[in-house]
Structure 1
Amino acid sequence: MKKHVDVAVIGAGHAGLNAIKEILKVTDDWVLINGGPLGTTCARVGCMPSKVAIHLADSYKMTDKLKRYGVSGGEELALDRPAALEHVRDLRDTFVDLVLANTTDEMDGEHLIEEYAELLDPHRLRVGEREITADAIIVATGARSVVPETWRAEFADGILTVDEIFEQEELPASVAVIGLGPIGLEIGQALHRLGVAVTGVDHGERVSRIQDPAVNRAALDIFQREFPLWLAHEPQIERCDGGFRVRSGEREVVVEKLFLALGRRPNLARLRLDRLRVPMGDHGVPICDPETLRVGRTSVYLAGDAAGGIANLQRAAAQGRIAGWNSVHRRKRSWRAHTPMAIVFSEPNIACVGMEWSRFDERSMVVAEQRFGPVGRALIMGQNRGLLRVYAERKSGRIRGASMVGPRCEHLAHLLAWAIEQNMTVKQALAMPFYHPVIEEALQDTLQELNGELTKPKMRGGFATRWIGAGRASIGSAAQV
């Protein structure tokens, strides 16, 4: 069978589905090809089920503090882990159903083909028994968890990733989390709080890609109080009685299962994109125009996690819309990346916004920080460990970046990302309204300190030429809880 369409979209994740929305505004002559489960990575195995598990684990952890709040009596609360996992799956299925109901459930067999695709040339695809030609092709096939081939061959029965963890009827008694990026830290902490003996292992010296050394130290201090974090050594794994022996330097532990969080890699192997005969980047990803998303001079576009980089739903959706528009219009649109923002939904949150610490230059930049220890709202919540650091340009006073670990930093990250996106100065941000008592007062205090650094008097011959106050006084120290 042969079929011709204006546009063929490969992959029914957020990038592919948003591409279809743009294509539909121009033509009904399209096809969506999807060879795996429908329902998007975010809803099935990513953002949503992981946050359900994290919320459940955090809620259970709060029961430890009830006695401090004067709550006592009755039986100690017990966790039914199979029931908890069933709750995670139930909500996961709800999220998937919501996605399907508004997208692929409404597509007929002419538009939705549930098969894997293989590229024959820049305009032809083999899909099962069909050959499909298209004026333009959008590749939005998402990404998959990285599992080293040697480990897959030797330890397959003991390996879990985010693709399998939510399908478990029961959790193992012990787990080594290999890789302490965002996924490893989030799931590792959730498993620990659900009663699993967790050991975190990473070859690097940072957690969750934190570049700012002060924030990284603060994060390590916080999370090492919950479960062991073994850093700076390549993990060595071997089978043994009882499961797997994991070594990191001179330390070792025997665990029942291995949870691998070594990153995600674009799902491109089946597509044979090498047949495009264009320059290739890492992991078989064709090099594309970062603004139009077009691959070389072909009519092929890359969008979402398939294009590589850090996985992010909002980024994938935006790239899908740009690829969809460009596939059906001669006048191309460019994708403009917004202010970078990365949030880890551990407890406390970790977030990095804007300029990375690796680009910090003390000659042209200033930094100020605030610990959450004395922040009133954080004390009330019993979550006052952490550190917020904000960076600004010395000459212009514009806010350029921030890194933080602390309570509800997901909200502080958004405020700072909006400020950076609008090119706000520290003084302009301080002119915004703040309330009391809220976590945002930690940001207010940091901005006050930053403003003080920016307005320090210049010294000539050892004497100050002018004096400017350095913001409101510290409210003192407080014990961290």
Structure 2
Amino acid sequence: MSTYDVDVAILGAGTAGMAAYRAAAQHTDRIALLDGGPLGTTCARVGCMPSKLLIAAAGTAQAARGTDRFGIYVDAPRIDGAAVMQRLRDERDRFVGFVMDAVESFPDRHVIREKAVFVDDHTLKLTSGRTLTARAVVIATGARPNIVAPLQGLGDRLYTSEGLFDWHDLPASAAVFGAGLVGLELGQALHRLGVRMRLFGRDHAVGPISDPEVRRHAAKLFEAEFPVHWHADSEVTRGEAGVTVRWSDADDDDAPQHEEEFDCVVAATGRTPNVDRLGLEATSLPLDDRGAPIFDALSMRVAQTHVFMAGDASADLPLLHEAADEGRIAGENAALLPDAYRKARRTPLSIVFSDPQIAMVGASHAELTEAGTDFVTGAVDFADQGRARVMGQNAGLLRLYAQRDTGCLLGAEMACPAAEHIGHLLAWSISDGATVDQMLERPFYHPTLEEGLRTALRNTSHALGMAPTPPLRSIDCGPGA
């Protein structure tokens, strides 16, 4: 051990890297946390928090437009794009400041503000040219926006899903490419903030939804609000005043071509793990066909080596809470080598903060189907759900999946009101191994949106053959409904 400069070198000081650092520091003081910047984590600087700030502004504008149904009449909202973006940047910078304070609280001897590449399995070359040797290494270098070929060459008319958070005003128009989690959130937010927006997707993806019924239901709800093309063939060209997008329906060879001018393009076309610039070819690590290390998701260890993966660099579960978990596992295992352990992961939970919100909990419909699992489904349509109608949010679909022979809840997919809260309830229940009938024994207050979940549970119980009543609609009038 004394032949190395440090016991653990951690590449990247984002969410995963800081979690790895804190875990490793419980076991050794010989640590190097390397990051050439910018610091601040993806979440605080260019991800979760600034996007939610934009969505919060958009939601406020949308609420002002929807007061007529309640008999309340107000003038159309006047949106000051510069003020919207000023608040976003100010609050974003506050969140980044909290992260910077955390990094600055680490001992100076542990933090190296440089980037590093591998020279060999245990040796890292830093930006300054000096080298550092480590007994174990945690790769937590995050990811960056992926720009697909049709969008390259647009110059200053192209903004990534990160770059738009530095806008000082809202554009008059924008074409958003990518109908995944980020594209849905940003595209809908821009539309609600008065930007003339059109969303272009591929392969009929609607966020992360894999359940065909939920996907169809959600697609119709989004289509009713803003222009979107779930599977488009498109061509983008840059002009003097903006960009021109030409597109047609990719499912129809004879589909007519359309054309529209926009001020700019926002690319939300996925992310690329930052492992291609680490010199991994100089190591003996096993790599997949993309050049990324092959690792075990329960130990974060790359084969039986001394290298561990964590966070978005692993391209496994690009979510903040998963990155923190992976960082803790990787950091502790790196410090404990050769006594690394495997740890069961939390019940999967992911949320899209669109309207309606989308949540994926536990095993997805696609995963269960591909695994050949014998499961039943139960659903609720929120069109008639009591509290949802009271609030004017009565749209959405929730589908539950339960093991046929045990009645245990396996997963759920939904696009519905309060999906972020219902998703948590379901994730906790799945983590506890709850059956559908056990969940039905738990209290449901009236009138709440959670009563919609109770309807879905009752319909699942019926599908399991455990309830004599036929499937229920989402009209919930109390405990006896």
TM-score by length of 1: 0.91
Deviation of 1:157 after TM superposition, in Å, equals 1.4
1:375-390 equivalences under 5 Å are 375-390=385-400
Cα distance in structure 1, aligned partners of 2:174 and 2:473: 46
CA RMSD of aligned residues (A): 2.1
Letter in 2 for 1:45: V
Matched with 2:409 is 399
Q: Determine the structure 1 residue equivalent to 2:64.
A: 63
Q: What corresponds to 1:338 in structure 2?
A: 346
Aligned match of 2:321 = 314
- Corresponding pairs, count: 463
Alpha carbons of structure 1 residues 450 and 3: separation in structure 2 relative to 1, 3 Å: closer
TM-superposition CA deviations, 1:49-94 (whole Å, max 9, x none): 1111101110111111234334346x65411110110101111111
Cα separation, partners in 2 of 1:16 and 1:473, compared to 1, 3 Å: closer
Q: CA deviation at 1:269?
A: 2.4
**Are 2:265 and 1:258 aligned?**
yes
Cα separation, partners in 2 of 1:400 and 1:476, compared to 1, 3 Å: closer
In the alignment, residue 251 of structure 1 is paired with which amino acid? H
Identify if the C-alpha distance between structure 1 residues 278 and 216 changes in structure 2 by more than 3 Å, giving closer, same or farther. same
User: Does the aligned pair in 1 maintain the 2:121–2:284 contact within 8 Å?
Assistant: no
The match for 2:305 among 298, 303, 318 is 298
Residue 171 and residue 97 in structure 1: after superposition, are their counterparts in 2 closer, same or farther (change >3 A)?
Answer: same
Deviates more, 1:193-202 or 1:335-344: 335-344
For the residue of structure 2 that corresponds to 1:88, the secondary structure is helix
Native 8 Å contact 2:180 2:208 kept in 1: yes
Q: How does 1:21-420 map to 2 (within 5 A)?
A: 21-72=22-73, 76-101=76-101, 103-127=102-126, 128-148=128-148, 151-152=151-152, 154-240=153-239, 242-249=241-248, 250-329=257-336, 330-360=338-368, 364-420=374-430
* TM-aligned CA distance change 1:360 to 1:29, over 3 Å: closer
Displacement of 1:24 in angstroms is 1.4
> Which secondary structure does the structure 1 equivalent of 2:260 belong to?
strand
* Aligned residues of 1:7 and 1:31 also touching (Cα < 8 A): yes
Identity %: 40
* Aligned-pair CA distance for 1:16: 0.6
- Contact kept in structure 2, 1:383 and 1:407, CA below 8 Å: yes
For each residue in 1:88-137, what CA deviation from the matched residue of structure 2 results, as whole angstroms up to 9, or x when unmatched?
11111111111222x21123543211111111111111112321111111
CA distance in 1, matches of 2:150, 2:286: 29
Q: What corresponds to 1:6 in structure 2?
A: 7
Task: Measure the CA separation in 1 of the matches of 2:367 and 2:298.
Answer: 23
Q: Indicate conservation of the 8 Å contact 1:325/1:333, yes or no.
A: no
Deviations 1:151-190 (A, max 9, x none): 33x1121111122111011121111111100000000001
Cα displacement (A) at 1:415:
1.1
| 2:442 alignment partner in structure 1 | 432
- Cα gap change, 1:125/1:221 in structure 2, threshold over 3 Å: closer, same or farther? same
- Runs of 4+ in structure 1 off by over 6 angstroms are 471-474
CA distance in 1, matches of 2:146, 2:131: 31
Residue number in structure 2 paired with 1:464: none
Task: State whether structure 2 residue 18 is matched by structure 1 residue 17.
Answer: yes
The one-letter amino acid of 2:192's match is: R
CA–CA distance in structure 2, aligned partners of residues 282 and 385 of structure 1: 43
Corresponding residue SS for 2:119: strand
Once residues 472 and 381 of structure 2 are traced to their aligned partners in structure 1, the CA distance between those partners, rounded to angstroms, is: 15
Aligned residue for 1:296, secondary structure, equals coil
What is the distance in 1 between the residues matched to 2:54 and 2:367? 35
Q: What is the DSSP-based 3-state SS (H/G/I as helix, E as strand, rest coil) of the residue aligned with 2:67? A: helix
Structure 2 CA distance for aligned equivalents of residues 285 and 301 of structure 1: 12
Q: Is the alpha carbon distance of 1:274 and 1:241 closer, same or farther for their aligned partners in structure 2, counting shifts above 3 Å?
A: same
Pick closer, same or farther for the CA change 1:469–1:148 going to 2, 3 Å.
Answer: closer
Which stretch shifts more, 176-185 or 106-115? 106-115
3-state SS, counterpart of residue 428 of structure 1 = helix
Asked whether the equivalents of residues 65 and 76 of structure 2 are also in contact (C-alpha less than 8 Å), the reply is no
Q: Is the 8 A contact 1:318 1:335 kept in 2?
A: no
Deviation per CA, 1:403-455: give whole Å up to 9, x if none: 11111111111111111122211100101111011110000011111111212
Q: Which residue of 1 aligns with 2:475?
A: 475
* Kept after mapping to 2: 8 A contact 1:319/1:335: no
Structure 2 residue runs without a partner (length 5+): 249-256
Structure 1: how far apart are the matches of 2:472 and 2:150? 58
Residues 363 and 163 of structure 1: is their aligned pair in 2 closer, same or farther, counting only changes over 3 Å?
Answer: closer
**Contact in 2 for aligned 1:3/1:131 (Cα 8 Å):** no
Paired position in structure 2 for 1:462:
none
Q: Is the 8 A contact 1:121 1:275 kept in 2?
A: yes
The SS at the match of 1:234 is strand
For 1:44 and 1:278, locate their aligned partners in 2 and report how far apart those are by CA, in whole Å: 31
Q: Is the 8 A contact 1:202 1:234 kept in 2?
A: no
Give 1:242 deviation, angstroms. Answer: 3.5
Call closer, same or farther: CA 1:363–1:187 in 2, change over 3 Å. closer
